[in-house]
Amino acid sequence: MVIFSAVLALAVLFLILPVSRGVAWTVAVGIALLTLAAVALRTLQRNRAREQSAHVLAALGTATADLPVSLRTRMPLALVTGDSLVQLFNRGADEERLAHIGDGAIWLRVNNPRDLPRIGVAVKQWRDGRAPDGIVLSISPALHASEDALTQALRVARQAVSDTSRMLGTGLPGYIAIYQRLTATPAAAVGLQWYGVSSTTRLTDAPKEVPPGDAHRFEAVMQAAESQVHQAGGDPVAAARAAALASVIGWTQRVVLGPLTDRSQPATPWALFGLGWIDCGPASDPRSPWATDVHARSGIMPPPMDASPAPWPLPQPVIEAMPRRLWVSPRLAAFAHAIALLACAGAVAIWGSAKNNQTLLTYIGADLGRFSMIPAEHDTARRDALKAIVADRDQIDYYARLGVPMRLSFGMYRGTLLMPVLNDAIASYQAPPPPPAVVTLDSMSLFDSGSAQLKPGSTRAVVGALEMIKAHPDKRILVAGYTDNVGNANSNLKLSMARAGAVRDWLVEASGIPVMQFAIQGYGDTRPIADNGTDAGRAKNRRVEITLVPEAPKDVPAERSPRT
């Protein structure tokens, strides 16, 4: 799922999101490193858990060899830790047995409460992703030297349960089984019976302030023992058991529930769903916490009693009302996560596509606005704006012919609606009329005979040429001088060149156009336009021509590659 998430993130990042390539590659490297680290860490944790719990998984495999896989995931599985585990799991000569199937559940032995997190993870893997259904804490009061020692052991168990729940990502229901000899009568004579409470809802959080509902549950347990006394006709053994049971129930509420559910402790309170007591356990010890409590409260010391023969019964009645949790197979959960990730990626993709389309519409709108704001007389700037509009039109047409890219898809594309607007804007462009090609000036009106010095007042004849030049400041200007054939040809050539230079200098000074934009040429009498044999013809040949040299046409491109 981590790799799938990373692939989705990279696809959305590079194909859709409106970010620069530099940012995209930086984020991609970060995603790749995090993905590799997460996969490596998770793989290492799983392998370590398998190695550390190999003996547990082997024991589970041996004990459940005859169970179908579907049954081992549906059958309740309880982790049992605490006291007297050998007596609980001893079935025949195999005293090191770690798992037992029977009494309506799979029971797994955890010798050290600190191993609960590790074994819980291993069980979850073994059960195809389903965590254990509960944790049973076995308590034999006679095995503890003092109440303080018992309290410390309970706090260790509580911390281990909290760590297990955190690692598994789910709360684990708790159950307490108290194994205490209540009467000296051999168990085989009277049978073994559990007294307790089993509930699908959490019992009490604060044992010192037992809610009425929970108090009623404990009273029901004692009433059940008292009813057995009546049924037995006042049998002294049954009466002694009922009295001892009432005492051990009160002791459990005061001594056991506190360390497990007290909210002042750092670990999470253990959610208890069942408590059970049974007249079975190790040999009684007058120094045990329960015996000491009975003596302190009543002045009566419980009589010495022998240990119950193994195996001791597992607390099946205590977990009968175990709350059933909805379990989803890892494959179905992975499929659901994949659908959720795809939905998130789709939402981000739609958002990114909307932003990209907004950007597309914004810059096309800016191109159209710039074109419409440029006056017709500024043809050069108008032609540049027209090129941008034509490029926009070609880009939209490219998408229409070859398909809209993914970054603009997901139902957000609106570029087709802009095609008529762009075509109308392109069709509205009209090139300005071409400038006059040549302005011819009479040399006699500008210069005295044989002179290249402009006569006073002659500049009025050049005003028309000046206006033409100012209207087209981007054009190059050629000033050419001509003479008739009277006189020496070389002198005429020099005179025509000098007159062209004089006109050029005046135009530069009057227009402010750089001199580099002008060119001068003298042709002398080599290019007559009339017959030099007549006075009228020679007058026409004595002239200065000012020509705007046309530049190579800059055609508007028909296509432009799409913007990226």
Q: Which pLDDT value is given to residue 558?
A: 39
| Predicted TM-score of the model (pTM) | 0.58
Query: Which tokens sit at 513?
Result: 């156009």
* pLDDT tens-digit series, residues 250-268: 898 888 988 888 888 888 8
Residue 81's pLDDT is 94
Q: What is the pLDDT of residue 562?
A: 40
Q: What's the confidence (pLDDT) of residue 63?
A: 66
Tell me the C-alpha distance between 178 and 221, whole Å.
14
User: Per mean pLDDT, which range of 142-151, 184-193, 220-229, 281-290 is the poorest?
Assistant: 184-193
Q: Is the pLDDT reported for residue 209 higher than 60?
A: no
pLDDT for 300 equals 83
| pLDDT tens-digit series, residues 360-401 | 999 999 999 999 898 887 888 888 999 999 999 999 999 988
| CA R_g for the chain | 52
Fold of 438-549: 60s Ribosomal Protein L30; Chain: A; (3.30.1330)
Token representation of residue 219: 């009273």
* CB 320, CB 99: distance < 8 Å: no
Q: 98-135, pLDDT tens digit by residue?
A: 888 876 788 888 989 998 988 888 888 888 788 899 99
Say how far apart CA 408 and CA 564 lie, in whole Å: 12
Q: What is the DSSP string of 292-317?
A: HHHHHHHS-PPPP-PPPPSSPPP-GG
Helices 289-298, 236-251: axis angle to 10 degrees equals 100
In this structure, what are the phi and psi dihedrals at residue 369, rounded to the nearest 5 degrees? Answer: -65, -40
Mean pLDDT along residues 61-75: 72
Q: Which of 73-77, 389-393, 482-486 has the lowest mean pLDDT?
A: 73-77
Instruction: Provide the 10 A C-beta neighbour count for residue 551.
Output: 9
Residue 93 pLDDT level (bands cut at 50, 70, 90):
low
pLDDT band for position 552 (cuts 50, 70, 90) = very low
Q: Rounded to whole angstroms, how far apart are CA atoms 83 and 213?
A: 29
pLDDT of residue 210: 44
CB atoms within 10 A of CB 84: 22
Please give the Cα distance from 103 to 322 (Å, whole number).
14
The share of the chain scoring above pLDDT 70, in percent, equals 89
User: 25-34, 59-68, 415-424: which has the minimum mean pLDDT?
Assistant: 59-68
At residue 329, the 3 state secondary structure works out as: coil
Q: Is the pLDDT of residue 564 over 60?
A: no
Q: Residue range 522-538: average pLDDT? A: 89
Residue 483's contacts (CB-CB under 8 Å, 6 or more residues apart) are 443, 492, 493, 495, 496, 524, 525, 541, 542
Closest CA relative to residue 196, chosen from 237, 256, 108, 152 = 256
pLDDT of residue 456: 81
- Determine the pLDDT at residue 204: 62
pLDDT, residue 366, reads 92
Computed over every residue of the chain, the mean pLDDT equals 83
What is the pLDDT, as a whole number, of residue 135?
94
Between 442 and 6, the more confident residue is 6
Structure confidence at residue 353 (pLDDT) = 92
pLDDT band at 66 (very low <50, low <70, confident <90, very high): low
Res 508 pLDDT > 80:
yes
Residue pointed to by tokens 């934009």: 517
The answer to whether the CB of 517 falls within 8 A of the CB of 533 is no
Per-residue pLDDT band at 230 (split at 50, 70, 90)? confident
